[in-house]
Amino acid sequence: MYKPALLFTVIFCLTVGHAKADAITNGSFENSMGTFVGDVNHVDELSSGSTVISGWTTLNGTETAWIQNGNPYGIPAADGSYFLDLTGYTDVGKFGGVSQTFTTTPGTNYTVTFDLGYGGAYSVLRGPVSVTASAGGVAGIFTSGSGSPNPAVWDLQTFQFTATSSTSTLSFIGASTAGGDYIGLDNVHVETPSVSPVPEPGSFALVLSGIGFFGQMVRGVRRGRAG
């Protein structure tokens, strides 16, 4: 039997907007290339200039810690199984960071979101913590909450920029932490606004044709029942 739900599905598929597309690679810092070499703490300590994390280059500090779930610090990833600590093991001097260059469309607005983490199994892993984030000529310092929650807390941060060239570079550098021992970074996304959910004229015609066909089917079913 012809079901109205089928027509609804067709109309819905024609009228919804396109899903947002993420412009960057591996925003959750996953071990997609199998390059993670963890120690007993599930930590891979990376020096500046390392490219072992797919899509990313480490920078600025003497080290950036790439950490896996199951670590003894009471810190689960915000997304996936891996995340970064921009303080590394040394926890002093210049904090670490990461950057990625990606394709952009000049004049297009982009929204950057990321999770900034603090807290954990030890009181020294406390907030507030801050990072400097920049992309497309826009830069700012972003700060999480305070305290020593266990397990760690991830705070969502966001900013926007307008691309001025065919490529843009996104970077994060640890700025400060009350504990001096942990600045978490995970779940990074760069997206363009959703396309307005308005179907093209051809799609309207197809929808109307489907409605007409549905009407004929309903009339046929009614005549069959009446007979």
For residues 182 and 60, which has the higher predicted lDDT (pLDDT)?
182
Q: Is the pLDDT score of 163 beyond 60?
A: yes
CATH 2.60.120.260 fits 21-191, yes or no: yes
Query: Going by C-beta distance under 8 Å and a sequence separation of 6 or more, which residues neighbour residue 86?
Result: 61, 64, 65, 95, 96, 97, 131, 172, 173, 174, 183, 184, 185
Rounded Cα distance, 65 and 85, in Å:
5
> What is the pLDDT confidence band of residue 94, given thresholds at 50, 70 and 90?
confident
Confirm whether pTM is higher than 0.85: no
pLDDT the model gives residue 218: 44
Find the mean pLDDT for residues 64-72: 97
| Helices marked H in 4-125 | 4-15
Instruction: Please give the biggest Cα pair distance in the chain.
Output: 88
pLDDT digit string, tens, across residues 125-145:
999 999 999 999 999 999 999
Cβ pair 152, 40 in contact under 8 A: no
For the chain, what is the mean pLDDT? 84
- Residues of the chain with pLDDT > 90, as a percent, come to 70
Q: Is the pLDDT score of 220 beyond 80?
A: no
Most confident of 7-11, 47-51, 212-216: 47-51
pLDDT the model gives residue 91: 75
Displacement of CA 117 from its chain's centroid (Å): 14
pLDDT digit string, tens, across residues 194-206:
544 444 444 434 4
Find the mean pLDDT for residues 153-176: 97
User: Where does residue 215 rank: exposed (0-12), middle (13-18), buried (19+ CB within 10 A)?
Assistant: exposed
Find the mean pLDDT for residues 174-194: 92
